[in-house]
Amino acid sequence: MDYSTPEELLPVYNLYLKTVLTHSRLGAGKLAGSTRRLASFVIDLFGEVKSKFSVDDHRHYLFTPRMIT
């Protein structure tokens, strides 16, 4: 089974970050309006790291979408 594509991950992490950023200790939702951009950035960064550090180079370079969370 393949991992989810970035397009499939975006709504998941957008909602996840929105939930986290609406917490009263994290600004009570003041930052929740930028979660789509933040989610997109995190997913793009994950893709870049995954492409630069290949499991073929070292076996411990196994990156999964779970690491984003």
State pLDDT tens for residues 29-60.
777 788 999 999 999 999 999 889 988 888 88
Which residues neighbour 20 within 8 Å (Cβ) at sequence distance 6 or greater? 26
Mean pLDDT of 21-31: 77
Q: What is the pLDDT of residue 44?
A: 96
Q: What is the pLDDT of residue 23?
A: 80
pTM reported for the whole predicted model: 0.80
Q: What is the pLDDT of residue 20?
A: 86
Mean pLDDT of 52-69: 85
Domain coordinates of the chain in residue numbers? 6-67
Interhelix angle 6-21/35-52, nearest 10 degrees: 130
Provide the 3-class DSSP secondary structure of residue 27.
coil
